[in-house]
Amino acid sequence: MKTRIMRVKYKPFLKQVAIAALTTVLLYYALVFVHQGTVWLFNTGILVELAVAFFFLLAIFIANRFISKTFSTGPFSRISGGWKAVLEGITVVASSVTLCFLLYYVPYRLIYYAADTEVNLLPERVRLAYVISSVAALFFYYFVERERNVKELQQEHLRAEQLQKENFRAQLEALKNQVNPHFLFNSLNVLNSLIHIDQDKAATFLNQLSEVYRGLLDSGDKQLVPLEKELELANAYIYLMQTRFGGNVQFRVDVPATYLHLQLPPTSLQMLLENAVKHNGSTLNKPLHIYIYVKDDKLVVENNLQPRLDEVTSTKVGLQNISSRYKYFTDQEVEVTKTEGSFTVALPLLDVANYESSYS
């Protein structure tokens, strides 16, 4: 996760550095060729001028990126199209003139004037530098930065739409599994038995059943949920299973409080618990053990493997859905490990603060 965040965060900046360096060299030596008729020139003075020009272009790129972000996501984004474009242009020109003054005019006076008092910076050259810098800034803003920003917004909208579809699909799968006649019939049978045996326990069972459905419905429009919230849904489901199967299915949850703020796709834990119960048989002599714990910043769901005699055909849609949703947030894979005696799934736990900062 950290490696991906670093790469996402610094890749645009490194790309800007490369573009600024290449553009500086090409433009500088194009001007040298126009004035000198050759490009085979290089000395200390040229190196200083190249360095100043490079930092100037890089500063323009950074300023343009900030301006573009401000007008795309800030309060200025609500300005109507025509006035917004004019205000953007004025801001770009003002920033380029300021940067030209700070990175060209000031260093010129400090370096060249100090070395040779007879050097005179003509007003015409100053005005020309301001005009050229403004034109260059406007060009890079409207034809490079703005286009890049538009593409990023389009990709972000597409990513959000695709993720929303995956979440709806997960919600639908979870509801289909929970609302199917077998689950509902079994749950109502258990509830009916409890009403005659222990009305207080029946009321608790009914409350936990409603918690499961409420949790599934509430999480449908969310991309990520805190582990604490996901455990609440899982605990409600665990209560239903323990009430239904008794000692045949045994759960153990060992999740330190320090991990509860980390996040994961909604209903993913509940889907893994459901798969474990669905695909494995259990008796008092051979109970199904399901262990939930954290290891290496991942939520692990592990169960002993004892396939049902009436083997259930697995479409693996649940695992595919969870893996698909994770791909929108991290390069870390959902780890699935199957041995002769156990089945384990490890879900990466995500730090939302780091995730949001990598796209800010």
Q: Answer yes or no: do 212 and 346 share one domain.
A: yes
For residue range 48-104, what is the model confidence (pLDDT) as tens digits? Answer: 778 877 888 888 888 888 887 787 776 777 777 677 778 888 888 888 888 888 877
Whole-number Å distance between alpha carbons of 275 and 177: 10
Q: So what's the pLDDT on residue 2?
A: 46
Q: Answer yes or no: do 349 and 234 share one domain.
A: yes
Concatenate the DSSP letters of all residues of 26-95 into one string: HHHHHHHHHHHS-S----HHHHHHHHHHHHHHHHHHHHHHHHHHHHHHSGGGGS-HHHHHHHHHHHHHHH
User: Quick check: is 169 in a domain?
Assistant: no
Whole-number Å distance between alpha carbons of 309 and 208: 29
Q: Answer yes or no: do 94 and 209 share one domain.
A: no
User: Quick check: is 163 in a domain?
Assistant: no
Q: So what's the pLDDT on residue 9?
A: 55
Q: Answer yes or no: do 114 and 199 share one domain.
A: no
Q: Which of 208, 324, 326 lies closest to 263, judged by CA? A: 326
Q: Answer yes or no: do 8 and 40 share one domain.
A: yes
| Residues β-bridged to residue 346 | 300, 335
Cβ contacts of 317 within 8 Å, gap of 6 or more: 173
Q: Answer yes or no: do 329 and 191 share one domain.
A: yes
Q: Answer yes or no: do 141 and 222 share one domain.
A: no
User: Quick check: is 120 in a domain?
Assistant: yes
User: Quick check: is 172 in a domain?
Assistant: no
Full domain range(s) for residue 75: 2-158
For residue range 250-266, what is the model confidence (pLDDT) as tens digits? Answer: 999 999 999 999 999 88
Q: Which of the given ranges, 4-8, 137-141, 256-260, has the highest pLDDT on average? A: 256-260
Domain total of the chain: 2
Q: 271 and 237 in contact (C-beta within 8 Å)?
A: no
Q: 264 and 274 in contact (C-beta within 8 Å)?
A: no
User: Quick check: is 170 in a domain?
Assistant: no
Q: Answer yes or no: do 322 and 235 share one domain.
A: yes
User: Quick check: is 165 in a domain?
Assistant: no
Q: Answer yes or no: do 96 and 223 share one domain.
A: no
Q: Answer yes or no: do 143 and 194 share one domain.
A: no
Q: Answer yes or no: do 147 and 233 share one domain.
A: no
For residue range 31-54, what is the model confidence (pLDDT) as tens digits? Answer: 777 777 777 877 777 787 788 778
The order of strands in the sheet holding 249-254 is 249-254, 288-295, 298-304, 342-348, 335-338
Please tell me which residue, 133 or 170, carries the higher pLDDT value: 133
pTM confidence score: 0.52
Q: Answer yes or no: do 109 and 256 share one domain.
A: no
- The H-or-E segment that residue 360 falls in is none
User: Quick check: is 175 in a domain?
Assistant: no
Which CATH number fits the domain that encloses residue 291? 3.30.565.10
Q: Can you give the length of the chain in residues? A: 360
User: Quick check: is 188 in a domain?
Assistant: yes
DSSP state of 259: G
| Residues β-bridged to residue 307 | 280
